[in-house]
Chains A and B, each alone.
Chain A
Amino acid sequence: MATVGQACLLIALGLCGYGAVASIYGARSGRDAFVLSGRRSLFAVAGLATVAFVILEAAFLRSDFHYTVVATHSSLTTPWYYRLAAMWSSQEGSLLLWLFLLAVWSSVALVLLRGRLRDVAPYATAVQLGLAGFFSGLLVFTAQPFETVPVAPSDGIGLNPLLRHPSMMIHPVMLYSGYTLFSVPFAFVVGALVVRRVDAEWIRATRFFSLAAWLCLGFGIILGARWSYSELGWGGYWAWDPVENASLLPWLTGTAFLHSVMIQEKRGMLKIWNASLVLATGILAILGTFLVRSGILDSIHAFVEEGNTIAWAFTALISVLVVLSVYLVITRRNDVLRSEARLDSMFSREAAFLANNLVLVGVTFVVFWGTFFPLISEAVTGSKAAVGPPWFDRYVVPLVLILVLLSGIGPVIAWRRTTVARLWGTVRGPVIFSAVVAALLLVGTNAAQDTESLILFLAATFAIAVAVHELWRGMRARQLMTGEGPPRALVGLVRRNRRRYGGYIVHIGVSLIFIGVAASSAFQHERDAVLRPGQSARVGGYTYTYLRPTAKIEQRAGELERISLGSKIRVTKGGKQVAMLSPTRGYYPTNAPMLGVLSRYFIGDSTSEVGLKAGWRRDLWIAEQPHISNLMPIVRKGDAVFAKAAAGGVSAQMRAIFLGQALNGLVARYRASAPPAQFRIIVSPLTGWIWFGAMIVLFGGFVAIWPAPGAARGLVRARYTARVARDLSRA
């Protein structure tokens, strides 16, 4: 099957080259047969990438260690669902996932947009095939997923324990879906610029994909944050790590684009801006993959492996895309990209959206600069230097404040121009509400201790109040017109204008996320403490007491999967128990032959399973790192005994029995007299709002993306019109 997989990739590479040339030739010569052939090439590439993807996933699923990539990233003790996800933990598997998603989403786009933008589509197809060709080339020449060995090892090395988390099964798929979906508007804007047809049609046609990309990427980012919070044992969800930043960059420009397109659709303005934003988003999406996979910047996500050679290829691709984009925008700036209208007033919705865009691009620039600063610094001063989270916070926090405020003003300010009096009439209610909330926060909480957070709370409250007020006003108006009850009127209102009201729901969710981020950053209580059983630590008004150690051996498929050492922690407040937490640390065995028989169960990778009691008001969080160095002398003594026994000719069966007894003995010893353990204890207010806000954003996104009732009819009509036009042109 490996040969079939390899052949699929090879044929896909050839088809990408052929299809791209055929599409462009067909479009330039007016020969539809070639255009059609180019389209079919893309569908065929999608089919071949799917076959290759399934073959590799099947190899992971059945633990076929003939495949080098399976042997180095999976093992018999890896649960079947994590074996599937293990594929994209590898360089080769992740590039194949990229190709698979790119080809499938591009094909879906071509099918859904059949009959629309007929002059643009061939060039868009060529761009998609070019990108697919790039990834096929990497998979054929550099990172070969179907490399096999004649004799399979008895077991694989295994999936990194840190990646054994439910969100890690979805997080990369969501990120890559976001990246690849953004390639659809990217390809279509390139096509539109090539044929000089930059009206709002390409925006309308690709809106679904822009929104879907934004949604998938945002969801992927949140899943990554959640994984970091609950798996990495440091209690945070965002560290301004280069790889995190890489996923944020296209999301930020994508967010700016989703807002600014409304101005082009409504007023025919900002054409250069919109085209540039989509082009930048597409390139930043490729850059994101580049950063993760090239290892060009020092990151916690060092997925790059020794001898990595893909960096130069990505650099070449990004350079080509940048040059192409700049050329297209510059050469079209004075004709098709010329604005059809001017900004009437700085006090208008257009101006508010423009300000929103400038702030988002400002944040993008800050994040980009900070992320690439080590390279910039090396180029300027000759030595690498890096900026830390405080530097990012210094610039991003004020910009976010402005952004949240604008998300409250934008939806209610009138198009073209308005007056202060008119705007005040619309926002009076939300402003008063925010003022009341401010007074309550100042009186009832310690929010005044952190001015930035207090301002952010108020801005977010204002934005939420505006969105709720708008929904309320619309619902009341509909009730008066139709006599419907409130729930029915609200649903009817949202269904009538899904994009607008979906957007309001997204604003509510984003504001909740920012409230959670501000509260958990500014008012978090944190302490690192070394505790023995019976000892306590006081954090943020809560007392964490180490009641007793826990230890157990966990098995899977008849093999030892990990040894979990942990503790029972009682959390009390005012003498009353509020939670019982069970943090553990799982030690995964390694197959390193140089290690002793017992050592291999403790020297390998280990990962935290945090103890967490989540709540609306605060999260009680704890992670543990047992001082097993105290156990190691006994472990080493055991190693020596086993080595002696092996030299004395003890049978494998007896050895296994003795090993089981020794490990059980060690676990029992830990339970009976545990050494001290290092704990990180956190009391974090409103962290749950981040995840809840993300769910609201997701819901709002789905509302906005869901086709309006008349959209299907419109699509059929558009296809019918296109068909009639085609028939007439042939006649």
Chain B
Amino acid sequence: MDPARKRLIRLVVALTVALLLAGALAYTSFSASSSAVTPSQLLRSATPGRSYQLTGKVVGGSIAHVGDGITFRVRDRAGTASVPVRYTGEIPDPFRDGREVIVTVHKDGGTYVGEKDSLVTKCPSKFADPSKATGQPA
């Protein structure tokens, strides 16, 4: 076969494979992703069984230990709408009242159940002013 034609065929095959792989990657990322939502969005449109990535701030004084896990409320970053979360698993060191958190949840009745070990607390580079967070620590 003509070497130039052989190279062209190789290039087309390689590009096709790369495109297919990239397509598969893109498709699965959309199907495997969790929507990032705020508490107010969750209150408006949560569907039972579907998982969401809830982002917001921990409501002051809402953290309580229940059995092996904790319960707390997450509110909008700028707003008062809040949702209750029941969570078991690793609790990050910076987790406390007023901190920004990200947790993967699904709706279970009137509460939201956090996926095990999915709680992420943002780690600020300096101490946050806890003056508004006068509730109890974790």
Contacts and interface: CB of A to CB of B under 8 A. Distances in A.
A627 interface: yes
Contact of B122 (A232, A233, A299): A299
Contact of B35 (A232, A383, A394, A627): A383
A347 B134 CA distance: 67
Interface of B: 3, 7, 21-22, 25-26, 28-30, 32-37, 53, 55, 63-65, 67-68, 88-94, 96-97, 100, 102, 104, 117-118, 120-131, 133-134, 136-138
A206 interface: no
A158 B127 CA distance: 7
A646 to B, nearest CB: 18
Contacts of A658: none
Most A-side CB within 10 Å, residue of B21, B26, B65? B65
A528 B123 contact: no
Nearest to B24: A395
A551 to B, nearest CB: 16
Nearest to B119: A234
B34 A385 contact: yes
A605 interface: yes
A72 B67 CA distance: 38
A678 B65 contact: yes
24 contacts: A91-B125, A157-B126, A160-B127, A162-B94, A163-B125, A231-B93, A232-B93, A233-B90, A233-B93, A241-B120, A298-B36, A300-B120, A302-B122, A366-B25, A373-B29, A387-B33, A391-B32, A528-B90, A588-B127, A603-B134, A606-B137, A629-B64, A632-B136, A678-B65
Interface string A593-628: 111000100111111100000000000000001011
Interface string A199-241: 0000000000000000000000000000000011111000001
Given A528-B68, A625-B138, 20 more contacts: A73-B126, A157-B126, A160-B123, A162-B93, A162-B123, A232-B92, A233-B92, A234-B92, A298-B102, A302-B122, A305-B125, A365-B25, A377-B30, A384-B36, A386-B34, A388-B104, A530-B65, A588-B127, A593-B131, A625-B91
A162 B127 CA distance: 10
A152 B18 CA distance: 59
B137 A629 contact: yes
B103 to A, nearest CB: 11
B130 A157 contact: no
A91 B125 CA distance: 8
Contact of A627 (B55, B65, B89, B122): B65
Contacts of B89: 528
A592 B35 contact: no
A160 B124 contact: yes
B125 A386 contact: no
Contacts of A6: none
A454 B25 CA distance: 25
B125 A390 contact: no
A157 B126 CA distance: 8
A303 interface: yes
B137 A628 contact: yes
Contacts, number: 160
Interface residues of A, number: 71
B93 to A, nearest CB: 5
Nearest to B64: A629
A685 B124 CA distance: 32
B22 A365 contact: yes
A590 B127 contact: yes
B32 A629 contact: no
B125 to A, nearest CB: 4
A603 B26 contact: no
A159 B123 CA distance: 12
A374 B36 contact: yes
Contacts of A388: 32, 34, 104, 118
Interface string A368-395: 0110011011001101111110110011
A159 to B, nearest CB: 8
A89 interface: yes
B53 A386 contact: yes
A680 interface: yes
A345 to B, nearest CB: 12
A556 interface: no
A369 to B, nearest CB: 6
A253 interface: no
> Which 8 pairs across A and B sit closest by C-beta, in order of nearness?
A302-B122, A385-B33, A384-B36, A594-B131, A592-B131, A234-B90, A303-B125, A629-B136
A409 B21 CA distance: 24
B63 A629 contact: yes
A522 interface: no
A90 interface: yes
Contacts of B33: 373, 377, 385-387, 391
B65 to A, nearest CB: 6
Nearest to A383: B35
Nearest to A529: B68
Contact of B125 (A90, A384, A394): A90
A530 B32 contact: no
A396 to B, nearest CB: 11
A301 interface: yes
A385 B130 contact: no
A678 B138 CA distance: 10
A391 B53 contact: no
Contacts of B63: 629
Contacts of A342: 3, 7
Interface in A442-469: none
